[in-house]
Amino acid sequence: MTTLRMTFAALGLSAFSSLALAAGNPLSVHVLNLENGLPSPGVNVTLEKHVGQNWQPLAQGTTNEQGRIAELFPAKQPFEAGEYRVVFKTGEYFEKNKRETFFPEIPVIFQVKQTDQHYHIPLLLSPYGFSTYRGS
């Protein structure tokens, strides 16, 4: 019984520490595979900001075993209001998994108005469709 309690305590602390680490970062993403209901590890993701007529690269990352990037926004850069784009490199992900896809990448453009809030962008993914929304 003690081992079971310790396991649950460790899991709880792990989840709490992940939240604590991400608490200071204003942007996170999560990719879930709709075909099997599992997270999608290994998806490359880029973040860009709309500046003038161009998109300025800000950061890149790869989803972890839970399909998450908890801290996508650059740590030492101020989070400013504006238009941003997260691009999920889904073609690479499906190719690594020996699957075809209709969408080689999925850009999600969103607007930040309140810089004191956290923005979470989940992507529900399948080879021939996707859905996204603003999470929390």
Which residues make up each annotated binding site for substrate? 30, 68, 133
The annotated binding site is made up of 30, 68, 133
CA–CA distances in Å: residue 63 to residues 6, 46, 78, 83, 89: 28, 11, 23, 23, 11
CA–CA distances in Å: residue 127 to residues 27, 33, 34, 101: 25, 9, 9, 4
